[in-house]
Structure 1
Amino acid sequence: MYDELAMAAREYKPVYVRKEEDIDSGESTFHPEMTHQIFGDSEMIFGYKGLDISLYYTAANLVPYFNISTKAKVEETYSDVPPDDISKLLAEDLPPGYLTGLDHFRQALSNEATFRPFGEMVDSYSIEARTGGTRTFEVYCMKIEEPGFRDYHSRMQTFIKFFIDAASYIDVDDERWDYFLIYEKYSESGNVRYAFSGYMTVYNFYAYPEKVRPRISQVLVLPPFQKMGLCARLIQTFYNICYNRMEVLDITVEDPSENFQRVRDFVDCSNCSKLESFQPDLLREGFSHEMVEEAQAKLKLSKLQTRRVYEILRLKATNEGNKEMFRQYRLDLKRRLNLPYLRNRKTYKKLERTLLPEELSQTLGVINNDEQRFRYLEAAFQEDLKAYKHVLERLAMV
């Protein structure tokens, strides 16, 4: 009976509404990728039968409608076990000003026709639709002071807790944030309409003495617009802007997820493959200072990301069937993977005279014998190799 009263929190349904017919069609419904940041590690909601949680957004203005419906609550059967307080759990993460009446939500849809994106349009492009024809997207850049955008951002950011792990809301009062929003531009009954598709936030760090180091922070493309290359295009749009900013030293990313890192690698490898120092013959000779200088000067890449791109492109230039060529590639990566061990070796030698083995491992968190180190290096190499091959597969499709 308890199992019947528990529902997976991922059944919580955001609904993306362009027109009134979408409210009941179910075609615009999508499920969150995660809910543990709100409903706990178990991602379960206890105490209800037939529970339905819906959060509707109008496609352009992101006007929200929130509704909870249920057939029965636990107190009707188990008075000693109260149901989860869903509204309380969601209170901090619901869009401000959400509607509770479906009729009012339908009325809000009538304002979609007059919506126009905030800020300055910095890119526009068309892509082939899976069902045929083309779809047009536009990218806009703005600051939080843009009239009306502060309230819009407060609604927009509520998506991230369900799609970005360890997500937190940013301090919008800090003027160093830049915002990049993607919209699909389409026609409805002969009128131009916009549909919010995703966004990216960028923080401009100061770099001594007179430079800035932009850091990509949050990047989200909504599920209805994923698998269309929008994230890669958004990154490239931002890059193109940075190329013309003399004050930009290099571009970094804040704690990238595995999926985002893969997209970033794809974009950076595509760009670096056109540079003189990243041609196959030079890649096989090893990582060079010329690569770092050219990637930073022309593409604003950091040294760390440049090294990663080099390793991916060198793998592309390596014939795995040639045992010696692949051995040289493997040794090159393992030398890089071995650097943390070498840096800690001196410290390890000093501490091992005063600490017990268990204390030493806890203090340094290092591998303290060759057998462990060899196992670590091989596992790390295989993990990188797998990630790099995913990037190369996408590069081969371009």
Structure 2
Amino acid sequence: MTEMVLKPQEEEWLCNSNEALTIWFLEPSTDPDREFDSVQVFPMFTYSIFGDKEQIYGYKDLEITLKFSSGSFATYFDVRYSDKIPDVSSTSIADNVVDKIKALIPNDYITNYDAFLQTVHEDAYSFKPMGEKITEYRLEEGDDVIYEIYRATFETPRFKEYHKRFQIMILFYIEAGTYIDEDEKWETMLSFEKKRIGDKYTYSFMGFCTMYNYYFYNREKCVNTENCVVIDQINNNKVPISERVNEGKVIPEDIRLRISQFLIFPHVQGKGHGSKLYQTIYKYVLSNSRIKELAVEIPNDSFEAIRDKNDLLYIREQKIFEGLVAPVDKNTIDSIRRKYKLNKRQLLRCLEIELLRKLNKSDAAAYKAYRLQVKERLYNWNKEILKDVDRAERIEKLEETFKGLVEEYQEILLKYN
């Protein structure tokens, strides 16, 4: 919406877009007395559609409805209001809500509700997930409901059209989320619920993770100083797999798989599906010989919690840090990183958490060794910022950051000790 200064009498035409827009998921009901089950949720974000203030101007009692068939994601779109401001001048024109939403959903959206319900009914039993089935699981042993995770790319039959249907969820639930292009190097993991209704199975879409294949250049294979510098630059900047660099002097053989978008839909959150999706991705990475590292674009707090929990549990299960005490030498860290394919920042984070868990804080020498190892990592990570800071201030900033980090680690250990 264009920024404007509203007169008091015009404010009655203003509404919050997060409250005006509702999202519904519909599926056939397991209750014989009810044809459909539906779940209503609200978006977390609409600023990418309606502006930073997340406000819509020009309507009273505005209701924007998006309903999705829970499996096929067939889309119903409807806009209603009790009154609309007259277009009497250029400063009082109502926001074009319909066009804003239409620009973000595929052209096959449905506006007739009866037709939509018929589509929900038909799709419930005809829709099947696309791509390669990677795994299945149950939340409880013996549970009738099965959950399946599939891997797809834009080359996978039916996926390109399916992605166009669900990608609007990125805008609603991932902060600063944007649509991705249809580059062939994107991979997507899709999470589905599979349950029996009568003698048939129906699928409900629960969430997804988009991942991009980047070159991973092995620094140990560089043949001269020039190429070593290029490799460092490429790995730090994460040059995409589709880009050729350095006139072919460095030939990539391996991949860094980077998680970009990770979302479990609101109505199925809190049940462990996010952890199952992340575990599946990590196992896929470990099983693929070309993938040398799993990275994450910009992790938000909720994803970082899932990542920390599952990485720490796996590390303990595999006894990866067994017997290690600070300071841990670089060769040991690099060897672990190569074997378990965690990116360096996450590996060091998990190492520091586990060293703290086993640390005898009454042992002054051991605590000092731990503190110095963490501070060295903090300094190296922030060298460009700290290099121009005088020594006394640098020491103070590192100590302050170290203490804050230890508090964060202790909170994590309280959850996952």
Give the structure-1-normalised TM-score: 0.83
For the structure 1 residues 393 and 191, does the alpha-carbon distance in structure 2 shift closer, same or farther, using more than 3 Å as the test? farther
Displacement after TM superposition at 1:341 (Å): 5.6
Which residue in the other structure is 2:224 paired with? none
Partners of 2:390 and 2:367 in 1: CA distance: 26
Distance 1:327 1:38 in 2: 51
Shift of 1:321: 7.1
1:7-54 Cα deviation digits (max 9, x unpaired): 21111111011138687x7x6001111111111111111222111111
**Residue 25 of structure 2 corresponds to residue 10 of structure 1:** no
Alignment of 1:222-371 (within 5 A): 222-279=265-322, 281-286=323-328, 288-297=330-339, 299-319=340-360, 328-339=369-380, 342=383, 348=388, 368-369=389-390
Contact 2:135 2:280 survives alignment (8 Å): yes
Aligned mates of 1:262, 1:48 — CA distance in 2: 40
In structure 2, the residue matched to 1:45 is 56
**1:100 and 1:245, CA in 2 relative to 1: closer, same or farther beyond 3 A?**
same
In structure 2, how many angstroms separate the alpha carbons of the residues matched to 1:198 and 1:394? 25
Task: Count the aligned residue pairs.
Answer: 369
Post-superposition shift, 1:149?
Answer: 1.7
Partner Cα distance (2:202, 2:407) in 1: 42
Equivalent residue number for residue 133 of structure 2: 121
- Decide whether aligned partners of structure 1 residues 214 and 91 sit closer, same or farther in structure 2, where only a CA change above 3 A counts: same
Q: Would you say the 8 A contact 1:117–1:140 is kept in 2?
A: yes
Within a 5 Å distance, the mapping from 1:145-224 to structure 2 comes to 145-172=155-182, 174-208=183-217, 209-224=252-267
8 Å contact kept, 1:73–1:83? yes
Deviation (angstroms), 1:186: 0.9
Change (3 A) 1:6 1:181: same
Q: Partners in 2 of 1:382 and 1:190 — Cα distance?
A: 59
Tell me by how many angstroms 1:78 deviates: 9.2
- Point out where structure 1 has 5 or more consecutive residues left out of the alignment: 349-367
Q: In structure 2, what is the equivalent of residue 355 of structure 1?
A: none
Pick the aligned partner of 2:65 from 44, 54, 59.
Answer: 54
Distance 1:386 1:62, change over 3 A: farther
Measured after TM superposition, the shift of residue 189 of structure 1 is: 3.0
2:85 aligns to what?
Answer: 74
**Separation of aligned partners in 1, 2:209 and 2:382:** 36
Question: Which whole-Å CA distance do the structure 1 matches of 2:156 and 2:283 have between them?
Answer: 22
Partner amino acid, structure 1, of 2:409: Y
Aligned identity (percent) is 30
Q: Which amino acid aligns with 1:192?
A: Y
Q: Structure 2, unaligned stretches of length 5 or more?
A: 1-8, 218-251
The one-letter code sitting in structure 2 at the alignment partner of 1:338 is Y
CA RMSD of aligned residues (A): 2.9
User: Cα distance, 1:124 vs. partner?
Assistant: 0.5
249-258 vs 82-91, which deviates more? 82-91
Letter matched to residue 109 of structure 1: V
Do the aligned partners of residues 322 and 22 (structure 1) sit closer, same or farther apart at CA in structure 2, a change above 3 Å counting? farther
Q: CA deviation at 1:370?
A: 5.0
Inter-CA distance 319–68: structure 2 relative to 1 (3 Å threshold): farther
For 1:164 and 1:268, the matched residues in 2 are separated by 22
Residue 106 (structure 1) shift: 1.0
What's the secondary structure of 2:139's corresponding residue?
strand
Q: Are residues 187 and 283 of structure 1, via their aligned partners in 2, closer, same or farther at CA, if it must alter by over 3 Å?
A: farther
Q: What SS does structure 2 have at the residue aligned with 1:231?
A: helix
Secondary structure of the 1:38 match is: helix
Mapped partners of 1:331, 1:385: distance in 2:
13
Structure 1 residues 327 and 6: alpha-carbon distance in aligned structure 2, compared to 1, 3 A threshold: farther
Tell me which residue corresponds to 1:365: none
Q: Distance in 1 between matches of 2:86 and 2:35?
A: 35
C-alpha displacement at 1:284, in angstroms?
4.2
**C-alpha contact (below 8 Å) 1:277/1:291 kept by paired residues:** no
Q: Distance in 1 between matches of 2:331 and 2:288?
A: 23
